[in-house]
Amino acid sequence: MLTVFMHLNATAHWLRMSRAERAEFVATAIVPIMACYPQIALSTYDVEGFSGLCSDILVFEGVEPQAFGALIDDLRDTALYTAPYFEVAGIYPALKANFI
């Protein structure tokens, strides 16, 4: 299984939305998609106060490549990509290190 770190940059379109509008988007667009992939756990991190490289990091755990590809295809059909609310700065798949 892989862990995938997706670095994102929030766009002005996302930042102009109220927090209530953002929460509604997540509840109506992202949560239902993630429910289709119960084997993949998603964690979100705000990093804009600590990094100039990206504003947010999504961490997907328990990733099988085929399922992850399908998940990303589903996300690409939402305003996350199409508005876009975020631009992808990088996608970093990784194996958990077991040598330390």
47 φ, ψ to 5°? Answer: -130, 5
73 φ, ψ to 5°? Answer: -60, -45
Q: Strands across the sheet with 56-63, in order? A: 41-46, 56-63, 2-10, 86-94
Please name the residue that has the structure tokens 């119960």. 38
Q: What confidence score (pLDDT) does residue 100 get? A: 66
28 in Cβ contact with 78 (< 8 Å): no
CATH superfamily of 2-94: Apc35880; domain 1 (3.30.70.1030)
Q: What confidence score (pLDDT) does residue 99 get? A: 72
pLDDT < 50: residue spans in the chain: none
Q: What confidence score (pLDDT) does residue 97 get? A: 83
The beta-strand segments (E) located in the chain are 2-10, 41-46, 56-63, 86-94
